[in-house]
């Protein structure tokens, strides 16, 4: 479960910006809250980030993605992480004078197995310059597990373990952690128990999703529909209740290729690509099979008519992906971070999907959802508490400022029941564009001779 995520000096983020999922002061909608660990604050089930184009919403998602990928791959040298190479995904803010000189920093506060941990690291594209893991205590103090710093001007790394992880683990971690790899990642590779659990939790329980039409993930989705009848029934029921005209789903696995089919396939590939490619392709022939998925519709005469799922609208396919993801997140108690959550989905349906997820009767594992969106219809006091609504706004210096509706004070304070969407579009909360004269009725031929810096003259 997630409490906070902080970004500093990354792409459009300059100074540190923190998304907090901890409850605010308002008392409405208690069903949107849960408590991951006794003695610590409640957290919200979902948080939505709204903002103008280029305000930094997608950069927030990319920051999360790169944070997880560095944890997952830095110690094993995969996905661009060469043993002596640069660290992919470390992209400092270029709009500040100090951006290139200062490291990028990520920090997360999360619950795992009844404990609350704060983990973070700072990095340049060349190396990790700081890393730490502490356990937050109910008393308000912390129990340091490890710290990593640059010890001297020569760049020597110093790793300290105030809490004993096991003598063998500590010595091996110091010896094997490269300058461009994380202690958590190295410790996981060395089977250090706590670090392995932290690594697994962060890389498996945080699900980063950027949706489009079904791509490589369709085979896994189709296989699960085929093999799990309960899952197929639930997805079909959601599709039916969404009023797509779908009354169910059916799958059919294609027959295994015959020996003659395999031989023809081998000969065709061998003549074009050679023996190595042909044999490798033949070996993967069966493992690459996937079921065909059909959406069942009710015909005019009451009969059932089948259509391939790939022939359904992009919005229908996107909805099915979202539904499958949210069912899993709710069951597993995971965290989904989604960029452009409601793209190609009708506003009312997107609203219903969030409502479905936040319902404790559906969200039995206390999963969490974080998403970015342009869809102002989701800005509803019927759906969210103020502490669940966030805005990304580009400052005059071009940097991203991230803030919650619950942070407004005094005359700017928002009532829990006011028309959030209307006030947002009117510019009351920020997070909307500061449009230039061309979008205020000034003809282009007049604007072209002006002296304004908003467009080239």
Residues 354-402 pLDDT 10s = 999 999 999 999 999 999 998 888 998 999 999 999 999 998 888 999 9
Looking at per-residue confidence, does 255 or 379 come out higher?
379
Residue 226: the pLDDT is: 93
Q: Average pLDDT of 418-434?
A: 81
pLDDT at position 144 over 50: yes
pLDDT at position 277 over 80: no
Residue 448: the pLDDT is: 53
CA of residue 290 relative to chain centroid, distance: 27
Residue 165's pLDDT band (cuts 50, 70, 90): confident
Most confident by average pLDDT, 7-21, 262-276, 292-306, 415-429:
7-21
* Residue among 66, 77, 48 at smallest CA distance from 11: 66
pLDDT at position 9 over 80: yes
Full-model pTM: 0.86
pLDDT at position 66 over 80: yes
Q: Average pLDDT of 435-452?
A: 64
The per-residue pLDDT for range 170-185, each reduced to its tens digit, is: 888 988 899 999 999 9
The per-residue pLDDT for range 14-53, each reduced to its tens digit, is: 999 999 999 998 889 999 999 999 999 999 999 999 988 8
Q: Give the single-character DSSP code of 302.
A: S
Give the H/E segment covering residue 229.
helix 229-241
Neighbours of 63 (CB within 10 A): 26
pLDDT at position 436 over 90: no
Residue 432: the pLDDT is: 75
Give the H/E segment covering residue 308.
strand 304-308
CA–CA distance, 430 with 437 (Å, rounded to integer): 19
- In this structure, the strands spanning 389-394 and 33-34 are unpaired
Q: Average pLDDT of 43-65?
A: 93
Residue 164: the pLDDT is: 82
Tokens of residue 135, six digits: 């356990």
* Residue among 423, 408, 337 at smallest CA distance from 376: 423
Q: Please, are residues 353 and 363 in contact by the beta-carbon 8 Å criterion?
A: no
CA–CA distance, 192 with 199 (Å, rounded to integer): 10
Residue 454: the pLDDT is: 41
Q: What is the 3-state secondary structure (H, E, C) of 232-277?
A: HHHHHHHHHHCCCCEEEEEEECCCCCCHHHHHHHHHHHHHHHCHHH
Residue 287: the pLDDT is: 63
Q: Which residues have C-beta within 8 Å of that of residue 166, sequence separation ≥ 6?
A: 192, 193
Tokens of residue 277, six digits: 């490619």
Q: Please, are residues 52 and 404 in contact by the beta-carbon 8 Å criterion?
A: no
pLDDT at position 154 over 80: no
Helix axes 314-332, 218-227, angle to 10 degrees: 70
Q: Average pLDDT of 323-333?
A: 92
* Residue 262: Cβ-neighbour burial (10 angstroms; 0-12, 13-18, 19+): middle
State the residue for tokens 């810096």: 453
CA of residue 424 relative to chain centroid, distance: 24
CA–CA distance, 249 with 35 (Å, rounded to integer): 37
Question: Which of 75-79, 158-162, 216-220 is predicted least confidently?
Answer: 216-220
Q: Average pLDDT of 315-323?
A: 86
Report phi then psi at 110, rounded to 5: -150, 160
What percentage of residues in the chain have a pLDDT greater than 90? 54
pLDDT at position 215 over 70: no
Rg (CA), the chain: 25
Residue 360 C-beta-side C-alpha neighbours within 13 Å? 8
Q: Which residues have C-beta within 8 Å of that of residue 319, sequence separation ≥ 6?
A: 238, 239, 242, 244, 345, 349, 353
pLDDT at position 123 over 90: yes
Q: Which CATH number fits domain 1-205+333-457: 2.30.30, 1.10.10, 3.40.50, 2.60.40?
A: 3.40.50
């Amino acid at each position: 479960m997630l409490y906070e995520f902080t970004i500093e000096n990354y792409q459009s983020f300059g100074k540190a910006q923190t998304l907090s999922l901890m409850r605010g002061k308002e008392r409405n909608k208690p069903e949107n809250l849960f408590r991951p660990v006794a003695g610590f604050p409640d957290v919200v089930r979902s948080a939505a980030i709204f903002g103008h184009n280029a305000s930094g919403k997608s950069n927030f998602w990319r920051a999360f993605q790169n944070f997880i990928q560095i944890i997952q791959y830095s110690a094993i040298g995969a996905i661009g992480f060469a043993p002596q190479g640069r660290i992919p995904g470390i992209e400092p803010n270029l709009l500040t004078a100090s951006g290139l000189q200062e490291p990028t920093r990520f920090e997360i506060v999360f619950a795992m197995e009844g404990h609350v941990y704060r983990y973070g690291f700072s990095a340049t594209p060349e190396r990790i310059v700081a890393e730490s893991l502490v356990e937050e205590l109910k008393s308000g103090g912390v129990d340091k597990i490890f710290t990593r710093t640059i010890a001297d001007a020569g760049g020597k790394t110093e790793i300290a373990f105030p809490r004993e992880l096991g003598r063998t683990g500590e010595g091996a971690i110091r010896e094997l952690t490269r300058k461009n790899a994380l202690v958590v990642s190295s410790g996981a590779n060395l089977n250090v128990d706590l670090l392995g659990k932290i690594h697994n939790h962060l890389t498996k329980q945080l699900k980063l999703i950027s949706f489009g039409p079904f791509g490589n993930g369709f085979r896994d989705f189709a296989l699960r529909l085929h093999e799990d009848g309960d899952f197929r029934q639930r997805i079909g029921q959601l599709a039916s209740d969404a009023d797509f005209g779908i009354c169910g789903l059916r799958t059919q696995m294609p027959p295994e290729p015959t020996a003659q089919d395999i031989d023809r396939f081998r000969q065709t590939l061998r003549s074009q690509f050679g023996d190595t490619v042909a044999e490798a392709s033949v070996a993967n022939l069966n493992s690459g099979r996937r079921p065909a998925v059909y959406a069942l519709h009710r015909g005019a005469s009451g009969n059932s008519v089948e259509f391939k799922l790939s022939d359904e609208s992009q919005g229908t396919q996107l909805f099915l992906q979202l539904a499958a993801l949210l069912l899993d997140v709710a069951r597993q108690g995971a965290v989904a971070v989604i960029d452009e959550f409601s793209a190609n989905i009708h506003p009312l349906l997107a609203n219903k999907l969030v409502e479905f997820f936040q319902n404790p009767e559906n969200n039995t594992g206390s999963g969490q959802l974080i998403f970015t969106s342009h869809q102002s219809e989701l800005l509803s006091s019927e759906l969210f508490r103020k502490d669940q609504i966030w805005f990304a706004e580009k400052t005059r210096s071009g940097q991203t400022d991230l803030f919650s509706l619950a942070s407004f004070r005094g005359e700017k304070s928002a009532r829990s029941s006011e028309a959030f969407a209307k006030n947002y579009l009117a510019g009351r909360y920020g997070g909307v564009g500061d449009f230039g004269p061309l979008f205020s009725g000034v003809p282009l031929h007049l604007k072209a001779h002006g002296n304004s810096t908003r467009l080239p003259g």
